[in-house]
Chains A and B, each alone.
Chain A
C-alpha cells in the first residue's frame, strides 16, 4: 500500500510537470493563419449543441481557407457545459495564442469565459450563448444569436399582434438559463401587452420525462396556446404526450425548437401546426442555406441545426470584419480586438441566420426573427 502511495506521489509530480510544460510545444505562430478558438460541450448531456457549433464553424473555416487569401485556423475545446471546465478550455486556447475567440456555445460557460476574454482583451463572438449576462458590461463580447430578452419579448409581441391565442400557458425549464431567461422577459412583456397567462409550470433536468402535470394544468386552465421556450428534445416529448391526452392547443416555440423535424425517429405529424420564431431553418430555399446544408450533410451525415448555422455565421462575420479591418495573422489579440470592435459596431452582415444584421455597442445583434409554422413536416413562413 505504501509503495502504491509513493507511485501516486510521483505520478502527481510528473503529471504536474508534464501539464506545466505541455503548452510550450504547441506555440506555433509561423503558420500565417489567424487563430480562432471556441469552447463548447463536445461531450456530456449538452454535447449535441457543442458539436453542431464546432462543425458549423469548421465548414466555414474550410470554405474561407479554400478561397485563398486570409487563412484561419480553428480550434474547439470541450467544456462539458460547465463554467469551470470552460475556463480551463479557454486557458488552453490562450496557451495556443488564440487571437479571436468564439466564446462558448452555451450560456453559463460563456458568462465565465466572457469575463476572461474581457480581462485579456481578446475579441469574442459567441454563436449561441443568449443571456444578456454574457455581454453585460463587456465591450468586446458580441452575440450572433438573439439575446433572451429579445426572443422573449419578440414572442410575446408576435403572439399578441397576430392574436394567436387568448389564454396562454407556459412550460419552461427552470434550471436552464436559456429557458428561464426567455420566460422572464416573455412574462414581463405579456403583462405589458395584457396577454392572459393562465398557467405557468416548469420542469428540470432531473424530471424532464413526464409532462402530464404541466399539460394537465394548461388543459384545465383552458389554455389555447402553449408557449415552449426550450430545446427541441423536451419539446418533442411534450408534443407526444399532449397528443396522447388529446390536448391540441397551438404550440409556440423559440429558436431552440429548431431541429425537431430532423430528430431521428420523430413523427413529424406531431409537430403539425407548431409555430416558432427562429432565424434559421434547414429547409430554407436560398442558395447559401442550401449549400451549407448540403455540405454539412455530406460531411457529418446529419442535418445542421441553428447552432451550426450560428457558428458558421460567426466565422463569416469575423472573416468580413477581418478583411475590412485589414487584420493580419501577426497582430496581437489586443490589436485585433480593437479593430473588431470598431468593425462590428459599424458593419452590416448577411448570413444564414438573417440579413442586414447589425450589432450595438452592448454586443447584442439586431436581426429579424422569422415566424415559422410547421406544415406537412416543413417550415412555412408565417407572414
Chain B
C-alpha cells in the first residue's frame, strides 16, 4: 500500500518562524524585543500607514456618500502621480505646480468618469456599479500603459529626500511627516466640510436617503459629482505622496496600495473619516510588525488575519457606525 506509506511518512519541517507564529516566542522571550528596534519599527509602520491612510481617506469619502466601492480610485491615484511626475521631472516645474495640476487633472477625470460610467447606473444595483468601476480601473491602467509605456519611472519626491534623525537608529523622513500632516489637515477639513457647510450637509443627506434628499430640494446628481471631484482631488494628493515615499511609478502603481487602503478603510469603519486615518496607520504598523517580528514571508497573511479578527470583534470596523436593523 504505497499510498499509506506516504501518509505515514509525512515529515513536517516547521521552521522556528512558524512556532513564533503560534506566539510561543512572546512567552519564552526567545526574541529580545529591543527597545530601539521596536521604536524604529513603530516609526516605519506609521510611515507606511500614513500612505495607506491618505489613500483610504479618498476611498471612505466616496463610499460614505455615494455608497459605492470605487475600485478605480487606485488608478486615479496613478494618473495623479504621472501628471505630477511629468510636470516636475520632465518639464522642471516647481512641485507646487505639479501637485495643483495633478489635482486639477484628477478632479476633471473623476467628474468625467462619474458622468460617463457611474451616473447612468444610479438606479442599478451596487454590484453593477462595482463591476463598472472595475472596468474603469482596467481602462485607466491600460490607457496609462499606452500613453506612458510600461517602463517604470522614478518619481522625484516633492518634499525632498531628507529626514530627521531623532537618535541613532531612529529616523523619520520628511515625506512621512508631511503625509501625516496632510492626512490630519484633510481629515479635519473633511469633517468640517461634511458637518458644517451646506454642500456637506447635502452630501450627508444623500448618503442617508437619496430619495428623501431629492424631495428636500437637493440636487442629488450634482452632489454626487462633487463628491467624486473631491475624492479624485484627494487621490491626486495621495498619488503624489505615495510616489514620493516609494518612488516607483508604473501603470499598476495604484492598484495594490488601493486594495490595501480599501482594507484600511474597512478596518477603521468604512464611511468614517477619522476611521480611515486610524485604520490606515494601524494597518501599516501591523504590516511592519508582522514582517519584523514574525516573518516577511507570511506578513500578508498575518495582516489579513488580524483584520478578520478585528472585524469579528467589531463587525463594522473600529469606528464604524453600528448597523441597526429595522424589523
The residues of A with any CB-CB pair to B shorter than 8 Å are 43-45, 47-48, 51, 174, 201-207, 209-210, 212-214, 216-217, 220, 232-234, 236-237, 240, 244-246, 263-267, 302
Contact = CB atoms under 8 A, between A and B. Distances in A.
B173 interface: yes
A79 to B, nearest CB: 14
A266 to B, nearest CB: 4
Contacts of B149: 48, 51, 302
A205 B155 CA distance: 19
B299 A266 contact: no
Contact of B145 (A47, A216, A233): A47
For chain B, the bracket of interface size reads 35 or more
A48 B173 contact: no
B161 A244 contact: yes
Interface of B: 37, 40-41, 44, 47-48, 51, 85, 89, 142, 145, 149-156, 161, 163, 171, 173, 245-248, 250-252, 256-257, 260, 287-288, 291-292, 296-297, 299-300
Contacts of A267: 154
A302 B44 contact: no
B89 A205 contact: no
A265 B154 contact: yes
B205 to A, nearest CB: 32
B175 to A, nearest CB: 9
A209 B300 contact: no
Contact of A216 (B257, B260, B292): B292
A332 B151 CA distance: 38
B154 A266 contact: yes
B15 to A, nearest CB: 11
A48 B150 contact: yes
13 contacts: A44-B252, A48-B149, A48-B250, A174-B296, A201-B296, A202-B297, A213-B296, A214-B291, A237-B248, A244-B171, A263-B153, A265-B153, A265-B155
Residue among B40, B152, B248, B287 with the highest chain A CB neighbour number at 10 A: B152
Contacts of B85: 265
B288 A213 contact: yes
Contacts of A210: 44, 47-48, 246, 287-288
A204 B145 contact: no
Contacts of B252: 44-45
Contacts of B48: 209-210, 212
Given A43-B142, A47-B145, A48-B152, A209 B246 contact: yes
